[in-house]
């Protein structure tokens, strides 16, 4: 059983996907972490992200694993280091290259080595697992997403103006939705959930209900 969760930055898709996987006892795969790990290597090696061949070269060798939710890159725990806006932006930039995407998709397939998986990202229902049993697309208004991101940053002791966060999110949406190769869009057959007025608990409940209903439906068919 493969469940895909795609959506915009700050829509709540990661938290939801993680909690749904926990509730169902499925493996959780954060595909964004693969692009973030690549961005981390680009920065660490002082590579110009505009140099496609160099970025592709790094993506070929990249090996990322998850150990109890921690992101391990070549033996190094990079969980915290890949979770900042600079790396997010760089990940979005590096993700425009076709050959980078092919290497990341191959890595994501290797990570999904179990039968039951919840995989989250921006091209999962369209490209990575187009035949997934249940697909979701999660979105929320940009104002609400910026508000949530601000709260999350404050909890980590980082102060940032909501207007600046809104600008960052808007730029990332635009880059991810307009890139030539596998742009972010609603996958065919996906259930679209707008979480602007939903709490995380309500969102998780709704997703679980849809998955259960779809299982019953398939059993009947």
Give the nearer residue to ligand DC in terms of CB position, either 188 or 221: 188
CA distance 186 to 126: 8
- Least separation in angstroms between residue 173's CB and ligand DC is 9
Give the nearer residue to ligand DC in terms of CB position, either 85 or 205: 85
Residues 80, 33: contact at Cβ < 8 Å? no
- Residues across the chain: 221
Does residue 88 touch ligand DC according to CB under 6 A? yes
Q: Which two tokens stand for residue 183?
A: 């742009």
Does residue 172 touch ligand DC according to CB under 6 A? yes
Residues 24, 215: contact at Cβ < 8 Å? no
Whole-number CA gyration radius for the chain: 17
CA distance 147 to 65: 31
Give the nearer residue to ligand DC in terms of CB position, either 189 or 209: 189
> In the 3-class helix/strand/coil scheme, how is 107-122 assigned residue by residue?
HHHHHCCCCCEEEEEC
> Residues 6 or more apart from 73 whose CB is under 8 A from it?
37, 40, 41, 62, 63, 64
- Least separation in angstroms between residue 130's CB and ligand DC is 13
Does residue 122 touch ligand DC according to CB under 6 A? yes
Q: Which two tokens stand for residue 157?
A: 């002791």
Binding residues for ligand DC restricted to 19-38, rule: CB under 6 A: 31-32, 35-36
- Least separation in angstroms between residue 210's CB and ligand DC is 21
Does residue 9 touch ligand DC according to CB under 6 A? yes
The one segment of 52-60, 117-125, 133-141, 188-196 that binds ligand DC by CB under 6 A: 117-125
Give the nearer residue to ligand DC in terms of CB position, either 177 or 215: 177
Applying CB under 6 A, the residues found at the interface with ligand DC are: 9, 31-32, 35-36, 88, 91-92, 95, 121-124, 172, 176
């Amino acid at each position: 059983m493969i469940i895909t969760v795609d959506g915009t930055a700050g829509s709540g898709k990661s938290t939801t996907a993680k909690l749904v996987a926990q509730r169902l006892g499925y493996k959780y795969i954060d595909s964004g972490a693969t692009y973030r790990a690549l961005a981390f290597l680009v920065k660490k090696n002082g590579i110009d992200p505009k140099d496609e061949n160099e970025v592709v070269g790094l993506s070929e060798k990249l090996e990322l694993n998850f150990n109890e939710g921690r992101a391990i890159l070549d033996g190094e725990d990079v969980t915290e280091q890949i979770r900042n806006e600079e790396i997010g932006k760089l990940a979005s930039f590096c993700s425009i290259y076709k050959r980078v995407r092919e290497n990341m998709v191959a890595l994501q397939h290797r990570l999904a080595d179990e039968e039951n998986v919840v995989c989250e990202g921006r091209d999962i229902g369209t490209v990575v697992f187009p035949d997934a049993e249940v697909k979701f697309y999660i979105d929320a208004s940009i104002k609400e997403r910026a508000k949530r991101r601000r709260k999350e940053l404050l909890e980590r002791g980082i102060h940032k103006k909501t207007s600046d966060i809104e600008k960052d999110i808007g730029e990332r949406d635009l880059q991810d939705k307009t890139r030539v190769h596998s742009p972010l869009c609603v996958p065919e057959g996906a259930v679209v959930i707008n979480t602007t007025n939903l709490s995380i608990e309500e969102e998780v409940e709704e997703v679980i209900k849809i998955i259960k209903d779809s299982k019953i439906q398939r059993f009947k068919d």
